[in-house]
Structure 1
């Protein structure tokens, strides 16, 4: 069989091989995508324009919103096009660029959530030293480190998969160029590639999970030692939104990626993948906006200023 090259293209099937209402799915995804942009832009604007939100927690939250918008944009516009056309082609180069940015942004979001857990640990467990420990230099260094680590991780995945041979069966049973679906599409041996990718991915997630777990165990111990119920409630509320976002993100990611390819089910994985690629980026902004009084007040003020100007 002839192998594909840089001038070849793949066919993204998305959901074209399944029975569904195209108009309903297209409209739903378009609304979710619009809400993702609106909610996250409003959250970013509130953080930038409100001096009371110029703290480390909101600095990382603003970065998370930027990642969420970008993460959603990597897949949703192409998916909307695919739904309208019932399957659309994507070039070999375009496919790997999409996968590169998808892995880059997904990894960055994971790292940011870990950093935010560490930030909450310092805020709750070391309140007197928090300002000096989490200063501007440390915040920027952590943010840059997240992007650098994400870039290296994404380059590794993209390079490994680009070295495989892809034959004339070019049908990608997914709505974007996913690592797992491309592994299934290769006509060469993927044993070494799978070993490298899943070992690196598993080790990375385990390290991050342990960091988060240790941070929240220490936080829980500190909250238990707090004498007044109002102080305990305030300390817990500062972490509850982050815990909800963590559950949404890691729950779906672990289900999709931390398992052997023999358990791969394209139909079920496409549906589950929508949770963390499309729905989670929207929900993150709403979770932090609706459950945080400081953010709600800043947003209300920003919206009222917008109306007064109009």
Structure 2
């Protein structure tokens, strides 16, 4: 594949040991950022857990509440939530250091694509979690509470509830990466937008299968995950056509540059250039 840019300059290359040192420093900065966020959130751990439990607690019948089965669960469960939330909030920092580490070794046109994809991936992951909290949880928990048999008190363990919430957050965050995955697969040449469009019926079935695997065993959760995935797939398909078109234009321009480099001027072009040079020389003499 031809490129219209030269490889990264060797002038900025570092010895292998210096790359390891830089990687260590960046990992330490990431750990430090997570630690700082944990330190900020830890005093509010119980309030944060109460906020995450609100979608279920607000739907429970009067007089019922969540329970803690393990003795240490009231202490460790909010701390676990704070740690996961700190990592979640540190994703921009993690991606920044990842980008700063790998960007010097990339071609310019690769940087132009990968950086927007990293930003988009982060925003889509956050969007998936927000969608799960504000749209999915009220509907799923409302359905579960409404189907509770008479005489049965719905009392959920706080640890198991947190595991459920984090699993759904992760599932929706990953599922919302469909546009990014589609664009990358088209960009590297593994798939073509026309092939993806032709296989749309299979993709619809696959979205519902993924929804069944990643979400709790109920139709509502499965549908609420599959439908956004299909919408995001169509968005990714649309953008991938544009990306493929730009890639093909760049490759065509690169091939033309290579042809001009190894193929000298034709006799007609040389004759025209010679005549133009003579005319220019004559005008200069007349001016004198």
Does TM-score exceed 0.5, indicating one fold? no
Q: Which has the higher contact order (CA 8 A, sep 6+)?
A: 1
Greater Cα radius of gyration, structure 1 or 2: 2
TM-score (norm 1): 0.32
TM-score (norm 2): 0.33
